[in-house]
Structure 1
């Protein structure tokens, strides 16, 4: 299984998108700095994906999915378990990166939890069974469960203080459909609303204040919210500010 080249916490090298089993340069050539919340130093430069990058990832996923679905459950489980083993084998490197990018003092538990997601689904995939129904003499109906979108494109807006854990949690069970399971939140990114609307639509995005984190909107949440969301269409604004959260948490809105 190909894997990205190793990177240490001390390096500030630019990271490239990993698409279709290989490292590629971002189509737009842009990069975003990743800074340490402890020292303020730049830890790395992260490739800024654009529409062509997403299209390339989608094409690669579509081509790969057929081969993935053709594998036996045991073979798919072996891949997931191998990823878990690789994460554990790279604990020192991943812990250093997690600490540099999030400021965590002892991130080893985060690394182990990330590996556990793949271990769990590596076991679950072998337990998926079909169902049969006896329809009478000479007739039998049965259900065969096929992997749907196990290899796909996952758009994840991860919190700055849970990068590895959140990424693994969302990628490992990737056979679930995105729009039923993943929501993106943002609060301080000035261009966040437009980027999220372009890439994800307005059904899976929520606004937050992030209190009491250092980057929260206090002490002027109303003013900062208005500034960040000023270009969002009114219908989408309602979804981002209340409807999507109500849908996710099953909250009644009444006539609000």
Structure 2
């Protein structure tokens, strides 16, 4: 084989390797982390973004973080395996953006809501059903006993039956008990300020309107996003939400 032929073969091989690498790179699951606020703003958002970017690296996900609601178009959302609402608050999407997000879920998209995602879009019934409840109030952050309700679900399967940790514990209104499957509850006798005696849900999941949704009320403080225990909870939620 002449030098030119060898050079041509080498170029073809290098091109194949480059294309293969590009294909593998573009096939990484893409996760959108959205943290816009139009109400109270948690000082844990920055820590949450950092943790989720690191989580993406560890799990071979491509993670995009943004607070720009203009990314909520049907064409743009279609590239993401899951959308994470990281401590969002208030009315953060306009009518067109709401329709795009609804279309995304109806097409089989995944959703993970963290903490104040339940204090978001309170006037949008479809979103309230997606999350599964609306935030009502909370006492001061304190240590409480949380109970695992479904050991078979990956978001809690690694936990002991009872977990004690400090958290800002949400009370909910309009909880959609008939729609969701609860994986964590809190024992109201273990702290003060609970307003849902008998059954106080903290984390749950469901299939909704063609897509998948998981919500956890954990995630108030910056320290939460350095707790391996909590981070595994979130990582498993994202994995679950991306499985079709």
Q: Which has the higher contact order (CA 8 A, sep 6+)?
A: 2
TM-score over 0.5 for the pair: no
- TM normalised by structure 1 equals 0.26
Which structure has more helix as a fraction of its residues?
1
Query: What is the TM-score of this pair, normalised by structure 2?
Result: 0.27
The structure richer in strand per residue is 2
